[in-house]
Amino acid sequence: DPKIIQKPKYLVAVTGSEKILICEQYLGHNAMYWYRQSAKKPLEFMFSYSYQKLMDNQTASSRFQPQSSKKNHLDLQITALKPDDSATYFCASSQEGANERLFFGHGTKLSVL
Amino acid sequence: AQSVTQPDARVTVSEGASLQLRCKYSYFGTPYLFWYVQYPRQGLQLLLKYYPGDPVVQGVNGFEAEFSKSNSSFHLRKASVHWSDWAVYFCAVSMGGADRLTFGKGTQLIIQP
């Protein structure tokens, strides 16, 4: 059974729209992350949260907003979608910091038309 | 800024043959180094990690990696590959603590029968 659940698996959106990517982890971890994997770039770190607090943000655009309603949830809201936002978005978690073992979800593949 | 280079986008080996996947890093100081594997349609999984100490690190499924400070490298090796090793392999570097991981572009490993 997957311990990190990402919904949906596939998502198609039109330019200018808004979407929310869901992530829930059932590993009891305190830290959660978002990474992005696109065809043109390596796997890129976006955000890290620890105990529901933002720890690190490497995403320049404010169109990307993480939301943590519960300790084991870290959703990603993306507004004003652009075709360049097309990528697979991976949620991950770890017990403490990033240098503990990261566990990744299966990803949400977003296509913006 | 730290960076990781995986010079080979794709490596093809015969089943049963030995394997080396290359990873070079750029970093000031002593890095923490990782190899992650991504099987088809799955999220990334940790293979092994290096913390300052013994330069040869053993991982799961017969994989090992060797840290070389003089060469700024952290190559992944396996004595005999199996068809189930068909996957994308990512090298990553971190400063330690809560610092984020920086990933390379990945190497696609293809196994020939």
Residue A3 has pLDDT above 80, yes or no: yes
* Cβ contact A104–B45 (<8 Å): yes
Q: How far apart are CA A18 and CA A81, in angstroms?
A: 6
State residue A97's pLDDT score: 61
The mean predicted confidence, pLDDT, of chain B is 92
- Decide if B25 contacts B33 (C-beta within 8 A): yes
| CA distances (Å), origin B101, targets A48, A69, A92, A110 | 11, 25, 12, 23
Q: How far apart are CA A44 and CA A21, in angstroms?
A: 17
How many A-B residue pairs are in contact by the CB < 8 A criterion?
A: 63
pLDDT digits (tens, 9 = 90+) for A68-103: 999 899 999 999 999 999 999 999 998 876 566 888
Chain A residue numbers touching B97 (CB-CB < 8 A): 97, 99
Percent of chain A with pLDDT over 70: 96
Which bin fits B106, alpha (ψ -120 to 50), beta or left (φ > 0)? Answer: left
Radius of gyration of chain A measured on its C-alpha atoms: 13
Residue B55 has pLDDT above 90, yes or no: yes
Angle at B40 between CA B34 and CA B45, to 5 degrees: 25
